[in-house]
Chains A and B, each alone.
Chain A
Amino acid sequence: MDRKPADNPDSYPPLGRVLMWFTDPANAHKIFGALAGICLMTFLADFTYKKYGHFAVEYIPGFYAAYGFVMFTALILAAKTLRIFIKRPEDFYGEKAIDCESYPEEELEQVGHDDA
């Protein structure tokens, strides 16, 4: 399929035009701000109810928040490090391995959104 870098929103479905808003770099800071706001709200919500849990750590306000943030970051960094050791070129298992071959076209219906 041809790659058409030019955006032509008028030809997109209405839902596509709505979702496109999220891909606009100009809106990135708004999305980030909204996410940070939601995070703050979930953290503050911790003080509004009586906590219960099986382990002592669960009673610490914001435990899940901290655990989620720290472990997610650790996961990404660990995966990035792992990549250094296990990354190989796409044709590592040969030219005929499925990682290299293109999917048989006759099985697909590669149609552009504005094709007749």
Chain B
Amino acid sequence: MMMLNLMPTAFIFIAAAFLLLALPKGPLRAALLLLVPLVAGAQVWSLPEGTYGQFDLLGLTLDTMRVDKLSRIFALIFCIAAFLGNLYAWHVRDTVQQLAALLYAGAAIGAVFAGDLITLFIYWEATAITSVFLIWARRTEGAYHTGMRYLIIQITSGVILLAGTALLYRETQSIAFGAMTLGSLGTWLIFISFGMKCAFPLMHNWLQDSYPAATVTGTVILSAFTTKLAVYSLARGFAGTEILIYIGAVMTLFPIFFAEIENDLRRVLAYSLNNQLGFMVVGIGVGTEMALNGTASHAFAHILYKALLFMSVGAVLFRTGTSKASELGGLCRTMPRTAVFCLIGAAAISAFPLFSGFVTKSLILDETANEHYPIIWAVLVFASAGVLSHSGIKIPYFTFFSHDSGLRPKEAPVHMQLAMGITAFLCIFIGVYPDTLYALLPYEVEYRPYTMAHVVGQLQLLCFALLAFAVLMRSGIHPPEIRAVNLDVDWIYRRFLPRILGGASIGLSQLWAGLSRALHETLESIVAFLFRVYGPDRGVAKVLPTGSMVVWIAILLGLVLVVNYI
């Protein structure tokens, strides 16, 4: 254990990747994938606070292990997520996916422990490169192109981070990753880089584009790390930055409209994920100790219930071949356990009392109110009702209840049920015993979520929203699930820009063709003119016979003679 403590946590995952390759395909590899997050989790749990794993690189000191309460809680939940994701993926025998899952989790944990911006950059890019294989592992043309778009955006975020780091270093002579104030170009670039990964509005669409394209198990693993790493980075670097409150509020708001009319349930969950990130970003923007506690605890709870929802929809996809709401319905008959797990995830994300979302989201909401942001508070309460709409109702209702799709799939495999069961248990455990989670938070917590006012208020909000849903369904006003795609920002780079560039290239080629044709014609007319003037049958170029020249000389001489005589 002592030796283990000296090793940066990320290296455990990297070492395990080599070991994985040495093992034969089969249960041994799957078992290793379960063991590694457990070992890493034990290390994270036992490490005292402090900075470890320092080394010099090109005159700069890199801190690979900065352990404090903020980094520890994120690293811990990443280990738990990796364990649950790998348990869910027990059946996967694809080496690419196994390696990607292992290294991706390692990179994310490495980034969380990074004490300087260069180490952060290295792991930042590593999460991008490793995670894209979870999309490409689907091995279809659609997944390849989606993966490319994902990779370009993720790598760009890293490049912007590096540029920001360089500028900041020139300014402050330091690469330490600590609290920053927006102002210089360097800090803005770092902020934008974090924002891209955190799916800020208008930079969000890589999330909804790529997560539904990954493999069944890949999406579960993807959902845990990248965006929460960005949340952690924002909390570390930009806590109390007021603009984040407004960005976060917009993030909670706009995805709920898109989620409502989206047909692919894994994309619905991606929109929902975006909305949940909004709550965390608001917490970071408020920036007080309680708000940051709210963000950290909400990230912790969110990783679990979001994974649970992705797992249940993934299990349905695994058994039926589709995750489209229009094709599903009535699956509670033969997949009842998955249905119950999904309902628990839905209750947790909707923040029903006794479920995890209730005890974490309220920290952020209450602090928004405490700090006197009434409009933001109203937006967040509205967004909470929105969460119920798409994640709380739409996902379980249209998959497992609603009309009978006629599909009678077998219950999810045992290992998937086990993964969902443990995750569901944690969602309830945190809801019932919030103090266990509160004890892990970065700051001291003095908060009681279970007050009469809070419980009744939340139940009223949710139950009356459910009632509204029931009324709208019975009256036929609720929009039906139909096979379609909806435009979002990705339309700009998937359709608009290619069209513009395509149009521009056609215009340019036509212009080029016209110009060269005009040049050709001009040259031809010059040649024709020259030919006309100097051509072989023209006077200028006519060759007279020698005889006629002699005649002309004789005539000239004769004339000279005549003139002399005169």
Contacts and interface: CB of A to CB of B under 8 A. Distances in A.
Interface of A: 1, 3-5, 7, 9, 12-13, 15-20, 22-23, 28, 31-32, 35-36, 38-39, 42-43, 45-46, 48-49, 51-55, 58, 62-73, 75-80, 82-83, 85-90, 92-93, 96-105, 107-115
B142 A101 contact: yes
Task: Determine which residue in A3, A49, A72, A114 has the highest number of CB atoms from chain B within 10 A of its CB, and name it.
Answer: A72
B8 to A, nearest CB: 34
A80 B476 CA distance: 12
A69 B340 contact: no
Interface in B400-424: 400-402, 404-411, 413
A115 to B, nearest CB: 7
B551 interface: no
Interface in B434-459: 452-453, 456-459
Given A88-B484, A103-B321, 8 more contacts: A4-B408, A52-B453, A58-B457, A64-B381, A64-B456, A75-B382, A79-B260, A96-B140
B264 interface: yes
Contacts of A110: 319-321, 409
A88 B332 contact: no
Interface stretch (B300-308, B460-468, B518-526, B540-548): B460-468
A35 B453 contact: no
Nearest to A44: B456
Contacts of A22: 332, 401
A66 to B, nearest CB: 7
A82 B257 contact: yes
B142 A65 contact: no
A111 to B, nearest CB: 4
Contact of B215 (A20, A42, A107): A107
A42 B369 CA distance: 23
A94 B139 CA distance: 17
A96 B145 contact: yes
Given A101-B141, A107-B138, A7 B478 contact: no
Given A43-B460, A75-B256, A98 B369 contact: no
A22 B403 CA distance: 11
Contact of A73 (B215, B411, B468): B468
Contacts of B477: 76-77, 80
Contacts of B322: 102-103
A39 B467 CA distance: 8
B91 to A, nearest CB: 8
16 contacts: A3-B407, A12-B333, A35-B467, A43-B460, A54-B369, A65-B461, A67-B461, A71-B465, A72-B389, A72-B464, A73-B472, A75-B386, A88-B485, A108-B319, A113-B334, A113-B410
Contacts, number: 259
A77 B479 CA distance: 8
Contacts of B513: none
B30 interface: no
A5 B403 CA distance: 11
Interface of B: 91, 138-143, 145-146, 212-213, 215-216, 256-258, 260-261, 264, 317-322, 330, 332-337, 339-340, 366, 369-370, 372, 374, 377, 381-382, 385-386, 388-389, 400-402, 404-411, 413, 452-453, 456-472, 474, 477-479, 482-488, 494-495
A66 B467 CA distance: 11
A76 B389 contact: yes
Contacts of B413: 109
Closest 10 CB pairs of A and B: A3-B406, A54-B369, A79-B260, A98-B142, A15-B336, A113-B334, A19-B332, A64-B460, A68-B464, A68-B461
Contacts of B215: 107
B462 to A, nearest CB: 7
Contacts of B452: 48-49
Contacts of A86: 261, 486-488
A87 B485 CA distance: 6
A64 B15 CA distance: 52
Nearest to B141: A96
Contact of B479 (A55, A62, A76, A96): A76
Contacts of B471: 73
Contacts of A39: 460, 463-464, 466-467
Given A43-B460, A62-B460, A75 B260 contact: yes
A61 B321 CA distance: 48
A101 B140 contact: yes
Contact of B213 (A38, A48, A85, A98): A98
Given A54-B370, A75-B257, A87-B484, A32 B474 contact: yes
Contact of A46 (B377, B400, B409, B456): B456
B465 A68 contact: yes
A90 B481 CA distance: 13
A82 B488 CA distance: 11
Contacts of B381: 64, 67, 71
A83 B404 CA distance: 25
Contacts of A49: 452-453, 456
A90 B485 contact: yes
Given A103-B321, A113-B408, A23 B402 contact: yes
B332 to A, nearest CB: 4
